Amino acid sequence: MGNLRSVEKALEHVGARAAIGADPDEVRAADGLILPGVGAFPRAMERIRATGLDELIAERAAAGTPILGICLGLQLLFDRSEELGGADGLGLLPGPVTMLDAPGLKVPNIGWAPVRWERESRLVEGIPSETPFYLVHSFVARPAAEDALGTAEYGERFVCAAERDNVFGVQFHPEKSSAAGLRLLANFSGICAKAPAAA
C-alpha cells in the first residue's frame, strides 16, 4: 500500500516528472520533495538519519522547497512519535504523533473517509470539502491548530492534512484516493513549479 512505485505512477499520471532516490545532488535539484512511507516510525527515522536525509530535508525545507509527507511521511515531519517506544521526527511541523483515540473501533483504521478542509489551501484547490480520501493508519499527528488543513472522523475528529509555509503533509494516500487524490498531487506539482528555483 502506498508504495513508492504507486506514488511515482500517480505523479506521472498528473504530468509531473518524478524520480525515486536519496542522492543529495538530485534532492537539491528537485522542485519539490515527497516523503512517502509505510511501516514504523522509529525504524524509518533511523534509516533517514543513517543516510543523512534528515539534514538534507531540513536544508531544503529552509530553502523554501515544497515538501509533501504522505502517511508515515506526514508523521515523520513532526517532532516525535510515541509509536513502538517513541522516537524523534524531523521536527518541521510542531506537535507529537500519538495513537488514534478510537475506543471500540478497530485499529488500524482502513478505508475511505470524507475529509473536511479547515481552511483554504493551494494544495486542495478544486477539491470540495468532505471529499473522501483513502486512509490506512493507527497513529495521528497532533499539529498546532493553525497548521491543521484537513480533518476526518474515526472515533475522534483527527487532523489528516497539515500545512505550514512550504511544508505539507497528508495522512491519507492521495496516490490511492482516485480522482481527488490525483488532483491533490497535481496541485502539489503546481506548487512546486511556482516555488523558488532549486539552488
Partner 1 sequence: MILYPAIDIRGGKAVRLTEGDFGRETAYHDDPVDAALRFAEAGVKIIHVVDLDGARKGSPVNVKTIRRIADAVPFPIEVGGGLRDAENIADLLRAGAERVVIGTAAMRDPKFLAEMLKLHPERVVVSVDARGGKISLAGWSEPTDVDVTDAIADLTARGVERFLFTPIEVDGTLAGPGFEQLESVAAATSASVIYSGGVGTLEDLRRLRAEAAPNVEGVIVGRALYEERFTVDEALAALA
Enclosing H/E stretch for 186: helix 178-194
Least separation, in Å, of the C-beta of 158 and partner 1?
Answer: 18
Is residue 106 a contact residue for partner 1 (CB under 8 A)? Answer: yes
- State the Cα torsion 137-125-32-65 to the nearest 10°: -110
Rounded CA separation 182/138 (Å): 24
* Count of residues that bind partner 1 according to CB under 8 A: 24
Verify whether residue 71 is a known catalytic residue.
yes
Whichever of 8 and 59 has its CB closer to partner 1, that residue is 8
Q: Tell me the one-letter amino acid at 89.
A: G
Verify whether residue 13 is a known catalytic residue.
no
Coil, strand or helix: which one is 20? coil
The binder of partner 1 chosen from 6, 98, 121, 151 (CB under 8 A): 6
Is residue 129 a contact residue for partner 1 (CB under 8 A)? Answer: no
Range 179-198, binding partner 1 (CB under 8 A): 179-182
The binder of partner 1 chosen from 16, 176, 189, 192 (CB under 8 A): 176
Verify whether residue 118 is a known catalytic residue.
no
Least separation, in Å, of the C-beta of 168 and partner 1?
Answer: 18
Rounded CA separation 105/110 (Å): 11
Catalytic residue from among 71, 83, 137, 163:
71
Range 11-30, binding partner 1 (CB under 8 A): 13
- The phi, psi pair for 116, rounded to 5°, reads -95, 125
Catalytic residue from among 83, 118, 163, 175:
175
Is residue 132 a contact residue for partner 1 (CB under 8 A)? Answer: yes
Range 145-174, binding partner 1 (CB under 8 A): 174
| Beta-sheet pairing, 109-117 with 93-99 | unpaired
3-state class percentages of the chain: helix first, strand second, coil last, to nearest 5: 35, 30, 35
The binder of partner 1 chosen from 110, 144, 193, 199 (CB under 8 A): 110
Q: Which residues contact 70 (CB under 8 A, 6 or more apart)?
A: 2, 7, 34, 35, 36, 37, 169, 170, 173, 174, 175
Binding site for partner 1 (CB under 8 A): 1, 3, 5-6, 9-10, 13, 106, 108, 110-112, 132, 134, 136, 174-182
User: Which amino acids are annotated catalytic?
Assistant: 71, 173, 175
